[in-house]
């Protein structure tokens, strides 16, 4: 079994209201020195295949078709042993 | 400047309806061989400090106080150069 760890973040330059809200929240409870906050998703998929090349190509396709919105988001992933 | 990359996931054993929905979605468009899907958050914070020990302790506190819900979520993070 393999595990794919996919990270989906808003592209640089796209306003991130959730990140801004988290930053405001942290500042409101006393944290200082925060330059910026960006909030994205981490999606962990366990895959039944043992073939890393197959997993890699399959996860790329999942990201392109469903897990990310290529207009505003970018993704990256790594494949590890589950 | 340092960057903290925080990952917040539901603890093992806690039902993850969002992950289930993603899995169903992927299967409905033809992907096979997916064992399970878990969806969490990735939060990237740029910090003005250059002191890694200070950043480490500060991010732990942020996670405990706001970024994660310790009842159902666990977190991990790494500190890298921004």
Query: What is the ipTM score, two decimals?
Result: 0.92
Walk along chain A (82 residues) and give the pLDDT tens digit of each residue.
999 999 999 999 999 999 999 999 999 999 999 999 999 999 999 999 999 999 999 999 999 999 999 999 999 999 999 8
> How many other CB atoms sit within 10 Å of the CB of residue A79?
19
Residue B55 to residue B79: CA distance in whole angstroms: 8
Which tens digit of pLDDT belongs to each residue from B35-76? 999 999 999 999 999 999 999 999 999 999 999 999 999 999
Q: What is the pTM of this model?
A: 0.93
- With tokens 């392109």, the residue in question is A64
Does residue B74 sit at the A interface (CB-CB below 8 Å)? no
Instruction: Give the residue from chain B lying closest to A40, CA to CA.
Output: B42
Per the structure, the count of domains in chain B is 1
Q: Output the pLDDT for position A82.
A: 86
Residue B76 to residue B59: CA distance in whole angstroms: 10
Q: Output the pLDDT for position B45.
A: 98
Residue with the bigger pLDDT between B82 and A51: it is A51
CATH number of the domain that B75 lies in? 3.30.1280.10
pLDDT band at B11 (very low <50, low <70, confident <90, very high): very high
Q: Which of B37, B43, B48 sits opposite A45 (nearest CB)?
A: B37
Q: Note down the domain range covering B16.
A: 2-81
Q: Output the pLDDT for position B82.
A: 85
């Amino acid at each position: 079994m393999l595990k794919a760890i996919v990270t989906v973040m808003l592209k640089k330059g796209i306003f991130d209201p959730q990140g801004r809200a988290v930053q405001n929240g942290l500042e409101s409870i006393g944290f200082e020195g925060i330059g910026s906050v960006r909030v994205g998703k981490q999606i962990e998929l366990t895959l039944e295949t043992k073939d890393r090349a197959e997993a890699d190509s399959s996860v790329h396709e999942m990201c392109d078709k469903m897990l990310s919105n290529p207009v505003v988001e970018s993704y990256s992933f790594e494949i590890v042993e589950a």
